[in-house]
Structure 1
Amino acid sequence: MEQHAIIIIIVILALTFDFINGFHDTANAIATSISTKALPPKMAIALAAIMNLVGALTFTGVAKTVGGKVADPMHIQHGTYVVAAALVAAIAWNLFTWYYGIPSSSSHALIGSLAGSVIAAAGFGAVNFAGFVTIIEALIFSPLLAFTVGYVVMTLIRYIFGSFSPHKLNSRFRLLQILTAAIQSFSHGTNDAQKTMGIITFALVAGGFQSTLDVPYWVKLSAALAMAFGTSIGGWKIIKTVGTKIIKFEPASGFASDISSAIVIFGATLIKMPVSTTHVISSAIMGVGSAKRFSAVKWDTAITMVTAWVITLPVTMVLAAISFTLVKLIFL
């Protein structure tokens, strides 16, 4: 297939992934504010869409990490086909987990799929394992950090505001949740949309359309708009899981969850590392719930989510390897 044609297919697949990511992952960013009735659902989704768009247009460091740390796009034969196969696998896994309402990681799905497709195409030696491990470390440690930050923030809130009347406390934190929902959606855009930018840029370099991992403006804008549009659709199944099935939210705990996860996600963006916003937000919620009391967390739901997180990387690697094998049989 001509390189121009495969690039067009890749862009369509990548923007489809970003659109799905919008209603799959961004649901996490507004689930708490909807659960506590700080924002009506339609207003929360509109706010998230706008702030994701702004965040996605603001940074590109994570895109360069995704585009260059897993493998070198200039040294992989049939690199554009590798990217196409990876995107098909990542989209399939995202749709599967969305259908069952499981807040799994789009980041894990994309990174795992890219690695699996590269291995199928060029062997294990083609993977930059130092860079790959660095990304995996960020994906693993960020939820642990989010849990800790959530626990500390909620503990401080209980210590500082413990003597306040519950009614006044709830009304004030409900207002603050509007701000934290916006901040969390912005931080989500700064990290998640960049992964799609990175994968498109990887394909452009692999196809010989550019020689650097600098993200073209049209890639930034299209990825940002795709995620914002996906966000505007709303991921109700994920919102229900995150907003009701981990802990019972009050405005104070919703605020603590939002601000804790936003701190971790934006911190990762500043050091140009991709993290799973799903993992970070869910872990912050668990930390907040544990600070109230350990039994406040619905650990059966948490275990199901963690299981999905653990299996996402190997499953998507296998799916991508199968996907590339089929692409190779058909087109190469």
Structure 2
Amino acid sequence: MDMILFLTIAIVVFALAFDFINGFHDTANAIATSVSTRALKPRTAIYMAAIMNFIGALTFTGVAKTISKDIVDPFMLESGSIVILAALISAIAWNLITWYFGIPSSSSHALIGSIAGAAISAAGFGILNYGGFLKILQALLISPFIAIAGGFIVMSLFKVLLKNRNLFKANKRIRYLQIGTAALQSFTHGTNDAQKAMGIITMALIAAQLQTGDDIQLWVRIAAATAMGLGTSIGGYKIIKTVGGKIMKIRPVNGAAADLSSAMIIFGATLVHLPVSTTHVISSAIMGVGSAQRVKGVKWCVAKKIVLTWIITMPICATIAAIVFQILDLFL
């Protein structure tokens, strides 16, 4: 019992660390466009994002329940606590590596791939809940394409609405709109991303037989929301630089269109209890907006590097988690 309690406490600490890192790793995506167009100063944008992330994290729990039971059944794992700890170590390592190099990779892919890899390492492929796992994979894979289409449509509508307007005056006014869209973006980020750590902690509590249902306890919600908010307040300037300028040259109208379309998609996923990659959705929305503006205006070489990172994240994290599990299992 002492070892189980120790592992559960370690999981809670690492899950909150994951949420903290997720905060400064992924918040950059939510505020990158508003910072790059100078609608908001970086520090102001980060503080606003921290508050909105915290509020969003406390508002919903559906995604957390999906994470806690749809990838693997925690009741079926004999070494459940070690599996979860190995998954967290793997996801945190990958997030720090990609943050260091300024690559906007997916924390969601990292975490979900890590859970699957550690669970398979512990009990074989039969341990996966294939129905739920495939549903999550479909959401992760389809959402970027929806975001590209959404960004293209919203930007096309903006072009029609602003057709006969003075571009300089319009951009000046749209900067004020960007403040609202950046706040909305940060709120939706909290509603989806912060819940992943909540789901992990709930899995650990079930595996340790400290709770029997999949309800997300209040202290778990507050702790995860706080960790996300604190991480957000640190900011991720390297990723802001990549998302906010290296994919395409962003003007206020482009930023507002990207924020609005991606926020709608992320929030829609939250409402149907599906985890999506906010990184994928926001970056894809920017590509869609750029395509509506001018296809050649998108720096597709940078976009290809981002897409390549998306593709390799899940298998790499699954492999790392599988290795970490075997090491932890050997000693614990």
**Normalising TM by the smaller chain, what interval?**
over 0.9
Question: Which string of whole-angstrom CA distances, capped at 9 and with x for unpartnered residues, describes residues 231-266 of structure 1?
Answer: 000001110000010010110000000000000000
Partner of 2:127: 126
TM-score normalised to structure 2 length: 0.99
| Aligned-pair CA distance for 1:82 | 0.5
Partner of 1:253: 254
Partner of 1:64: 65
Partner of 1:166: 167
Partner of 2:82: 81
| Aligned-pair CA distance for 1:296 | 0.9
Partner of 1:327: 328
Partner of 1:8: 9
| Aligned-pair CA distance for 1:168 | 1.1
Question: Which string of whole-angstrom CA distances, capped at 9 and with x for unpartnered residues, describes residues 87-129 of structure 1?
Answer: 0000010001111100000000000000000000111000111
Q: Secondary structure at the match of 1:102?
A: coil
4+ long deviations beyond 2 Å: none
Partner of 2:149: 148
| Aligned-pair CA distance for 1:159 | 1.2
| Aligned-pair CA distance for 1:151 | 0.1
User: How far apart in 2 are the matches of 1:63 and 1:155?
Assistant: 35
Question: Which string of whole-angstrom CA distances, capped at 9 and with x for unpartnered residues, describes residues 51-90 of structure 1?
Answer: 0000000000000001100010011101011100000000
User: How far apart in 2 are the matches of 1:319 and 1:198?
Assistant: 21
Partner of 1:53: 54
User: How far apart in 2 are the matches of 1:256 and 1:111?
Assistant: 29
Identity, in percent, stands at 59
Partner of 1:198: 199
Matches within 5 A, 1:94-105: 94-105=95-106
User: How far apart in 2 are the matches of 1:78 and 1:288?
Assistant: 46
RMSD: 0.6
Amino acid at match of 1:24: H
Q: Secondary structure at the match of 1:133?
A: helix
Partner of 2:269: 268
User: How far apart in 2 are the matches of 1:214 and 1:26?
Assistant: 27
Q: Secondary structure at the match of 1:103?
A: coil
User: How far apart in 2 are the matches of 1:283 and 1:140?
Assistant: 12
| Aligned-pair CA distance for 1:270 | 0.3
Matches within 5 A, 1:303-314: 303-314=304-315
Partner of 1:26: 27
Q: Number of residues paired by the alignment? A: 331
TM-score normalised to structure 1 length: 0.99
Amino acid at match of 2:301: D
| Aligned-pair CA distance for 1:185 | 0.2
User: How far apart in 1 are the matches of 2:202 and 2:55?
Assistant: 20
Partner of 1:284: 285
Question: Which string of whole-angstrom CA distances, capped at 9 and with x for unpartnered residues, describes residues 150-191 of structure 1?
Answer: 000001111111110012101111000000000000000000
Partner of 2:234: 233
| Unpaired stretches in structure 2, ≥5 consecutive residues | none
| Unpaired stretches in structure 1, ≥5 consecutive residues | none
Amino acid at match of 1:191: N
